[in-house]
Amino acid sequence: MNLVCTCVRRRLAALAASGADIEPTSWLARHLAACSDCSRERRALASLAGHLSSARLPEPDEQAFAAAVWQKVDALPAPIHRAAWWQSPGLLAAAAGACALALWMAREPAGVGVAAPPHGPVSTARAGGAAGTVASISPASRPKADLLTTPPPAPVPQAKKPATSGSRAPVIPKLRPGLNPATARPRRMLASAGSATAGSTVAWSDWGSYYEQKGDYRSAAYAYGMAHSEKRDPTTAFAYGRASEASGDLASAMDRYAAVLEQDGG
Partner 1 sequence: MHTIAVTRPHWQTESDDRALAAAARDGDRSAYAVLIARYRGMAFAYSLAALGNREEAEDAAQDAFVQAYSAMPRFDPNRAEWAAWFMRIVRNRCRDGLRRRKTRRPAEMPLEIMDEAPGPEAVTMADDRRRVLMQAVAALPEAQRVPLLLHYAGGKTRVEIAHALGVPESTIIGRLAGGLKTLRRRFGGEGLI
Which CB sits closer to partner 1, 27 or 65?
65
Three-state SS at 123:
strand
Q: How far apart are CA 238 and CA 133, in angstroms?
A: 7
In the complex, minimum distance from the CB of residue 20 to partner 1, in angstroms, rounded to a whole number: 9
Which CB sits closer to partner 1, 61 or 108?
61
In the complex, minimum distance from the CB of residue 73 to partner 1, in angstroms, rounded to a whole number: 5
In the complex, minimum distance from the CB of residue 42 to partner 1, in angstroms, rounded to a whole number: 11
- Binding status of residue 66 toward partner 1 by CB under 8 A: yes
Q: Could you tell me if 4 and 41 are in contact, meaning their C-beta atoms sit under 8 angstroms apart?
A: no
Q: How far apart are CA 136 and CA 118, in angstroms?
A: 7
Q: How far apart are CA 232 and CA 226, in angstroms?
A: 10
In the complex, minimum distance from the CB of residue 44 to partner 1, in angstroms, rounded to a whole number: 5
* Alpha-carbon distances, residue 53 vs 12, 14, 48, 57 (angstroms): 18, 17, 9, 10
- Binding status of residue 3 toward partner 1 by CB under 8 A: no
Angle, vertex CA 159, rays to CA 155 and CA 162, nearest 5? 140
Residues 6+ apart with CB under 8 A from 220: 207, 208, 209, 210, 211, 212, 239, 243, 246, 247
Binding segment for partner 1 (CB under 8 A), chosen from 68-76, 126-134, 140-148, 151-159, is 68-76
- Binding status of residue 62 toward partner 1 by CB under 8 A: yes
Which CB sits closer to partner 1, 53 or 87?
53
**Interface residue with partner 1, options 3, 25, 36, 55 (CB under 8 A):** 55
Closest CA to 140 of 126, 167, 168, 121: 121
Binding segment for partner 1 (CB under 8 A), chosen from 60-68, 95-103, 121-129, 180-188, is 60-68
Which CB sits closer to partner 1, 56 or 161?
56
Which CB sits closer to partner 1, 25 or 71?
71
Q: Could you tell me if 240 and 256 are in contact, meaning their C-beta atoms sit under 8 angstroms apart?
A: yes
Q: How far apart are CA 135 and CA 14, in angstroms?
A: 97
DSSP character at residue 155: P
Which CB sits closer to partner 1, 6 or 164?
6
Binding mask 14-53 for partner 1 (x = CB under 8 A): x-xxxx---------------------x--xx-xxxxxxx
**Interface residue with partner 1, options 1, 6, 13, 94 (CB under 8 A):** 13
Closest CA to 143 of 115, 171, 181, 183: 115
Q: Which residues bind partner 1 (CB under 8 A)?
A: 13-14, 16-19, 41, 44-45, 47-60, 62, 65-66, 68-70, 72-73, 76, 79
